[in-house]
A and B are shown apart, each in its own frame.
Chain A
Amino acid sequence: MTSPSSPEQPWPVRTVSRKVAEWIGRLGEVWVEGQVAQLSRRGNAATVFLTLRDPAADLSIPVTCPRDVADRPGLELTEGARVVVRARPDYYVARGSFSLRATEIRAVGLGELLARIERIRRLLAAEGLFDAARKRPLPFAPAVVGVITGRESAAERDVLVTARRRWPAVRFTVHNCATQGPTAAESVIAGLRKLDADPAVEVIVIARGGGSVEDLLPFSDEGLVRAIAATRTPVVTAVGHETDTTLVDHVADVRAATPTDAAHRVVPEIGEQRRLVEGLRARARHLLGTRLEQQERWLEQVRSRPVLAEPQRLLAGRADDVSGLRTRATRTLTHRIEVADRDLVHARAQVTALSPAATLERGYAVLQRAGGALVRDPAEVSDDEQLQVRVAGGRLPVRVDRPATGEDGAP
């Protein structure tokens, strides 16, 4: 046994290396599953080096294996392949480095891959990541669309060309990245974070053309699914053909069948919108026009009512009234004058009939004193008094010439 180390009695490096190597050597054999991230075969070297990566976490372990293990017939060891490795932890004392020494490598079969995806799907579904309530609505006409896709891929062209044709004003922020292989999921996640952090980007499209189940594997990566769930920006996925379903399709806010379909989902069709607006506009105009015409007709009808249109009629009746009264007044007065006239004629006749003229005509005379009084008795007059005699022919002055004897008036 070595005595414990202390500042006064430190261990030499070889002792530490030996102790670590011993401890690791006791760990024994382990079965481990991961993805081949790097693979290097150096010439005819007896040992093959590879890096085994955990697809859900950003960590990896170097693996060494004898050439015959790596080149076993039936095993097609390539970068990106999922493998199950039987290995023993090993500490290489010369460098102080840790690795796994593989004694057997098995490829993970397709059925097994799908079963694993299904397990992850159930796990995430149970967490509620795929719930309909989590789906966010897409903006109606986004100014900027973020696109994550392979460089110069058909998927990129489909999204850009189709979206521009539908809505020419749309702008894109494109993040090109690996869409297959061991780095794809991480690369897509990096793009997602970058676009999500850009406030101008209103919706993100993740697009990739069709491929084998293995090719599409990064899009069922647990880390990527969680990254999509964590975005603030709505995400549309268009991965593979319509029949391929990857886990990102479950978590996306909208799953498009193809990249072209994704473009249809994220931007409206401009012609259709123009027609819609035109239609609404025409309806509004028609409605207003009708209303206005109705009011104009009403006003016209009111203005043509006799009380407004012919104000002279207000006077007409009144003028008739006045002239009627006037006529009546004239007629009444005329009648009265005629009656008075007739009365006068009648009275005149009566006067004539009653006058003494007729008696005078018969030869009688009337004697009047100077004052006009009639003389009815000789005693009324004095001697030499001037009197007037009135006969039918006129007046005649006379003087009283009475003898003194006084034959008193006895004619």
Chain B
Amino acid sequence: MSSPESAEPTQTYEQAREELADVVRRLEAGGLTLEESLALWERGEQLAEVCQHWLDRARERLAAAAPTD
């Protein structure tokens, strides 16, 4: 799995989020081969990291703009 910290993800938060929701839906629906479901799970992990990255960044920026008092 790639480390999302190393470079800016090319996907926006919304794109990653939408794809992640789709991955989970497909995993939960079942009916996949083992190889397929493993690949899908890996993709889901990746997407969750991208989402987490954007949310962490947003949190940092919010904290940076916080009043000093």
By a beta-carbon cutoff of 8 Å, the part of chain A in contact with chain B is 281, 285, 288-289, 292, 295-296, 298-299, 302-303, 305, 307-308, 311, 314-315, 318
Among residues of A, the one whose C-beta sits closest to the C-beta of B66 is A285
CB pair A308–B48 under 8 Å, yes or no, is yes
Q: Shortest distance in angstroms between A79's beta carbon and chain B's nearest beta carbon?
A: 62
Q: Bound complex: CA of A299 vs CA of B45, how far in Å?
A: 11
Q: Tell whether, in the assembled complex, residue B27 and residue A308 are in contact, meaning their CB atoms are under 8 Å apart.
A: yes
Contact residues in B for A314 (Cβ distance below 8 Å): 34, 37-38, 41
Interface of A is mostly: helix
Q: Is there contact, CB below 8 Å, between B62 and A289?
A: yes
Query: B24, A285: Cβ atoms under 8 Å?
Result: no
Smallest Cβ distance from B69 to chain A, in angstroms?
A: 11
CB distance from B20 to the nearest CB of A (A): 6
A305 CA / B45 CA spacing, docked (Å): 12
- Chain B interface residue count, CB cutoff 8 Å, equals 23
Give chain A residues whose Cβ lies under 8 Å from the Cβ of B55.
292, 295-296, 299
- Cβ contacts under 8 Å, A305 to chain B: 24, 28
- Determine how close the nearest CB of chain A comes to the CB of B19; give it in whole angstroms: 11
Question: Given known contacts A296-B55, A308-B44, A314-B41, is B62 in contact with A302 (CB within 8 Å)?
Answer: no
CB-CB under 8 A for A307 and B28, given A299-B51, A314-B41: yes
Q: Which of A288, A295, A318 contacts B62 (CB 8 A)?
A: A288
Closest to A306 in B: B28
Nearest chain A CB to B47's CB is how many angstroms away?
9
A residues in contact with B24, CB < 8 Å: 302, 305, 307-308
Q: Which residue numbers of B lie inside 8 Å of A, CB to CB?
A: 13, 17, 20-21, 24, 27-28, 34, 37-38, 41, 44-45, 48, 51-52, 55, 58-59, 62, 65-67
- Nearest Cβ distance between residue A315 and chain B, in whole angstroms? 8
Chain A residues with CB below 8 A from B48, complex form? 299, 302-303, 308
Contacts of A289 in B (CB 8 A): 62
B20 touches A302 (CB 8 A): yes
Q: Name the 8 nearest CB pairs between A and B, nearest first.
A: A307-B27, A299-B51, A311-B41, A303-B48, A308-B44, A314-B37, A296-B55, A292-B58
Residues of B within 8 A of A311 (CB): 38, 41
> B28 to A302, Cβ gap below 8 A?
no
Is the CB–CB distance between A308 and B21 below 8 Å? no
Minimum CB–CB distance from A357 to chain B (whole Å) comes to 62
Contacting residues, chain A, for B20 (C-beta < 8 A): 302
Q: Report B-chain residues with C-beta under 8 Å of the C-beta of A295.
A: 13, 17, 51, 55
- Nearest A-chain residue to B61, judged by Cβ: A288
Which residue of chain B is the closest to A291 with respect to CB atoms?
B58
> Smallest CB-CB separation from B58: which chain A residue?
A292
Q: How far is the CB of B1 from chain A (nearest CB, A)?
A: 12
28 contacting pairs across A/B (C-beta < 8 A)? A285-B62, A285-B65, A285-B66, A288-B62, A289-B62, A292-B55, A292-B59, A295-B13, A295-B55, A298-B17, A299-B17, A299-B51, A299-B52, A299-B55, A303-B48, A305-B24, A307-B24, A307-B27, A307-B28, A307-B41, A308-B24, A308-B41, A308-B45, A308-B48, A311-B38, A314-B37, A314-B38, A315-B34
